């Protein structure tokens, strides 16, 4: 007795669906391969751009604008830039902070340009507001200060450039720079022109105005706002005969209790008549 096996043919619809699934599988494999190839190519190009294309190879790719005193060489030295330099390794905010500390400028803007690769730096020069003196490592020095109270050596300003005001700052120190900046900011709000600002070795501040003469402020910078308010009030209310007396001064170390210090009266001289 013999048996024979026969294969039942599949319906046309089932066979067609099988072929469609195979074709979709092949298309998916091809698409995945293409995606992988494109990704690898893009990654390679990206690495080339990062490593080679976006690199500052010389100082000629550093562009400095806005300053009339400082150029590319001064900026590169202040920022300690070394070439070649990857452009994306530079942090604009950090570089701005460094340049503000190292250069005589009052504002800095740093931008990275990728195409073509360049470092764009815009500087705003400090402007001398008042003449100043200080005691340096080699003795007394003459210079200027800007509106924020920063010291400006004579070599950092344009030849022949003069301060904007006739105010003189004596004994400049970095510790009193914030107080000095506030005094300079409010110089036109004191009731009379500000003439001099003096800083003693112990840090105490005094100033001279055209209306009040010598005003002692003391060493506490936390009182400065109240002291300036008192100066404005005294400029309006103090009798004229008490202002700017020779040898007199106003003590505002306690702004709530201003003291007018008058010079001691001269001692009378005794005259003895001699009889012969």
pLDDT digits (tens, 9 = 90+) for 208-256: 999 999 999 999 999 999 999 999 999 999 888 777 777 789 999 999 9
| H or E element, residue 222 | none
Q: Identify the DSSP state of 115.
A: T
Same domain, 143 and 239: yes
Task: Indicate if the pLDDT at residue 273 is higher than 50.
Answer: no
Whether 141 is covered by a domain: the verdict is yes
Of the candidates 109, 125, 141, which is a domain's last residue?
125
Same domain, 103 and 179: no
Residue 223, classed as helix, strand or coil, is: helix
Q: Identify the DSSP state of 25.
A: H
Per-residue model confidence (pLDDT) at position 12? 64
Whether 71 is covered by a domain: the verdict is yes
* Number of helices followed by number of strands (H, E) in the chain: 5, 14
Of the candidates 92, 125, 158, which is a domain's last residue?
125
Please confirm whether the linkage preceding 84 is cis (ω < 30° from 0).
yes
Residue 205, classed as helix, strand or coil, is: strand
Q: What percent of the chain has pLDDT over 90?
A: 58
Task: Indicate if the pLDDT at residue 272 is higher than 60.
Answer: no
Same domain, 135 and 221: yes
Q: What percent of the chain has pLDDT over 70?
A: 85
Same domain, 117 and 189: no
Distance (Å, whole) CA 256 – CA 201 = 25
Same domain, 202 and 223: yes
Average pLDDT (170-178) is 96
Parallel, antiparallel, or unpaired for β 168-170 and 194-199?
parallel
Whether 96 is covered by a domain: the verdict is yes
Parallel, antiparallel, or unpaired for β 105-113 and 85-86?
unpaired
Same domain, 183 and 232: yes
Same domain, 167 and 240: yes
> Per-residue pLDDT tens for 253-267?
999 999 998 776 666
Q: Which domain holds residue 250?
A: 130-261
Distance (Å, whole) CA 143 – CA 198 = 15
Q: Identify the DSSP state of 147.
A: T
> Which backbone phi and psi does 209 adopt, to 5 degrees?
-115, 160
pTM of the complete model beyond 0.85: no
Task: Indicate if the pLDDT at residue 84 is higher than 60.
Answer: yes
Q: What is the CATH number of the domain that holds 89?
A: 3.10.20.310
Half-sphere exposure of 28 (CA within 13 A, CB side): 6
Same domain, 137 and 75: no
Task: Indicate if the pLDDT at residue 270 is higher than 60.
Answer: no
Whether residue 122 contacts residue 109, with contact meaning beta carbons closer than 8 Å, is answered with: yes
Same domain, 142 and 256: yes
Greater confidence, 127 or 23? 127
Task: Indicate if the pLDDT at residue 152 is higher than 70.
Answer: yes
Per-residue model confidence (pLDDT) at position 134? 96
């Amino acid at each position: 007795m013999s048996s024979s096996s026969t294969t039942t043919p599949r319906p046309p619809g089932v066979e067609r669906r099988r072929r469609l699934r195979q074709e979709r599988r092949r298309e998916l494999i091809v698409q995945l391969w293409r995606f992988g190839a494109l990704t690898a190519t893009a990654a390679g190009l990206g690495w080339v751009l990062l490593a080679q294309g976006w690199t500052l190879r010389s100082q000629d790719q550093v562009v400095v604008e806005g300053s009339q005193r400082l150029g590319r060489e001064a900026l590169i030295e202040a920022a300690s830039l070394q070439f070649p330099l990857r452009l994306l390794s530079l942090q604009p905010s950090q570089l701005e902070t460094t340049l503000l500390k190292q250069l005589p400028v009052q504002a800095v803007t740093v931008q990275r340009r990728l195409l073509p690769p360049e470092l764009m730096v815009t500087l705003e020069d400090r402007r001398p507001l008042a003449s100043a003196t200080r005691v340096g490592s080699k003795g007394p020095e003459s210079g200027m200060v800007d509106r924020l109270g920063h010291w400006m050596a004579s070599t950092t300003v344009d030849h022949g450039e003069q301060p904007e005001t006739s105010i003189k700052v004596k004994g400049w120190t970095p510790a009193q720079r914030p107080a000095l900046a506030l005094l300079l900011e409010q110089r036109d709000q004191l009731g009379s022109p500000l003439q001099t600002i003096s800083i003693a070795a112990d840090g105490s501040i005094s100033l001279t105005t055209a209306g009040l003469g010598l005003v002692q402020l003391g060493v506490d910078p936390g009182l400065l706002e109240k002291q300036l308010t008192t100066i404005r009030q005294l400029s309006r209310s103090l009798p004229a005969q008490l202002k700017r007396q020779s040898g007199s001064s106003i003590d505002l170390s306690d702004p709530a209790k201003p003291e007018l210090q008058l010079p001691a009266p001269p001692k009378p001289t005794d005259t003895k008549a001699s009889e012969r």
